[in-house]
Amino acid sequence: MTPEQCKAARALLNWGQAKLAEAAKCSQSTVARFEAKDPKHQIRPRTIESIRRTLEVEGIEFVENGRFGVVMRRDG
């Protein structure tokens, strides 16, 4: 998951950074640093995976087949 995919996924869910952080059990500043690609702070791979899994549970699918994007599943 790229920082851009994370931002796009949040937009599809209409979630702020704080809501994602709460759901993924990390801090809002961690989400902000990841999305900003802050070179001073490396985000642990397991934290990024936790964020990704949280978004997937909410219906987000990550597209990574030579192009990068996100889509939202329609349940029903």
Task: State the residue for tokens 């990024």.
Answer: 48
Give the other-Cβ count within 10 Å of 65's Cβ.
6
Residue-range domain boundaries for the chain: 3-72
Q: What is the 8-class DSSP label of residue 41?
A: S
Q: What is the 8-class DSSP label of residue 39?
A: T
Instruction: Give, to the nearest 10 degrees, the angle between helix 28-36 and helix 17-24.
Output: 120
Look at domain 3-72 and name its CATH class.
mainly alpha
* pLDDT for residue 9: 97
Higher pLDDT, residue 65 or 37 = 37
10-61 pLDDT, tens per residue? 999 999 999 999 999 999 999 999 999 988 889 999 999 999 999 999 999 9
Residue 4 phi, psi (nearest 5): -65, -40
The answer to pTM > 0.85 is: yes
